[in-house]
Amino acid sequence: MPHVADENVNIMMKESNTSIPWLENSSYIVNIHSSGNLDKRQQINRQDRLLSPLPTTGPNAVAFYAVMSRPLTNPGDQHTFIFDEVKINAGNGYRPHSGVFIAPNTGIYAFTWSMRLYGTEHHSAQLMVKGHVHGAVFLTVGGSSNNDNVSGTGVAFMNEGDDAFIRTATGNLGKIESDSSGYTAFGGWLIK
């Protein structure tokens, strides 16, 4: 025999005249424990969604995300980061051999970057847009066994052909870490 709360849920579901689009062509299954309480797991038959085509990007979609596949040892001042492992490059604006993003379309872009350090290292990573410092993050690690990460976000108007990249500032010390435990990364996308 179902619990009273279960009966109320079943009645509400039967008497409801509201339209829930994602339920209209799906079966709704509620699991009931032997105690009569509703199971927290609710299952939706998603066959109609699984059979639909994969989403595609529009002709003007621009988005990229890339990581360093290995650490960068003592990069020095004003050294451009090379993010050689590209995860996505819609619009083909990111150049993995140079580490530079070249805007394929005019518009407003959002950028994000991160840097991971270990031990007693300290570095500043600057977002350069059209040859000027547009944003910067700084991280100093305070001990031999510390492992820290810093990230930054910037938004910029770019004309088609303008460039953006990440570089070190001045007064850096040590290695910039990047591996599957924590990547140093760079990404961006066209907002509008």
Judged by average pLDDT, the poorest of 32-41, 71-80, 118-127, 176-185 is: 32-41
| Range(s) within the chain of domains with CATH label 2.60.120.40 | 63-190
CA atoms within 13 A on the CB side of 26: 18
Domain 63-190 top-level CATH class: mainly beta
H helices, E strands: number in the chain: 3, 12
Q: Which residue has the higher pLDDT, 110 or 19?
A: 110
Question: Which tens digits make up the pLDDT trace of 52-63?
Answer: 555 556 667 899
Query: pTM to 2 decimals?
Result: 0.68
